[in-house]
Amino acid sequence: MADKNYTELLNDLKDNKISELVIKPDEFTDFQVAFMNFDTRKRVVGKASQNGIITYTYQSDSGSNS
């Protein structure tokens, strides 16, 4: 029973409504289901931090590598 709608959050990330999505270890299993079904998941980039926290950002179609 997930508290968050991860598909909606991923869409918000894609649409630049949010700049990043922070996932804690206890959320990862629920998040992973939405992530694997997300149509542009290859553009979602995660950066691991201490304590198993992952911060996801969305790489737009801008064509820049920075």
**Residue boundaries of the structural domains of the chain:** 6-58
pLDDT of the residue at 29: 96
Residue with tokens 């992530």: 35
Is the pLDDT at 2 greater than 60? The verdict is no
Is the pLDDT at 1 greater than 50? The verdict is no
pLDDT 10s digits, 7-54: 999 999 999 999 999 999 999 999 999 999 999 999 999 999 999 999
Query: What pTM was estimated for this model as a whole?
Result: 0.85
